[in-house]
Amino acid sequence: RINNMKFFANHGVAPEEKSVGQNFEVDIEVSTSLKAAATSDDLSASIDYSVLLTIAKEEILGHKYDLIETVAEKISSRVLALNGARATTIRIRKPNAPIEGTFDYVEIQITRESI
């Protein structure tokens, strides 16, 4: 699991969200067997956290989507394509979502399993 990756990007339905941008926070959780990596002490037998960070960064910064649900779906598809990934949970938070009210953040969460 890699938690609370922080990005400044341009996703959202409101025009100002795409033009001005805002902060996003992303968590990626991956279910996989760690036995081979643990017994061999070999990173290639596991899922490299830096690869998860790269996937999140490319999807968050490389595109402009209306919905953070779409961003999460794109990230989850790429994570599940990694060797050994059985399932993934993606959480994306918008601390400054442009809606009235007092709150810490809005958040979506999706969980997907490999077929």
Residues labelled as active-site residues: 94
Contact 113, 86 (CB under 8 A): yes
- 6: CB partners within 8 A, 6+ apart: 23, 24, 25
DSSP 95: T
Alpha helix segments (H runs only) across 41-81: 49-61, 68-80
- CB under 8 Å to 12, separation ≥6 — which residues? 18, 22, 66, 68, 94, 97, 98
* Residues making up the chain, counted from first to last: 115
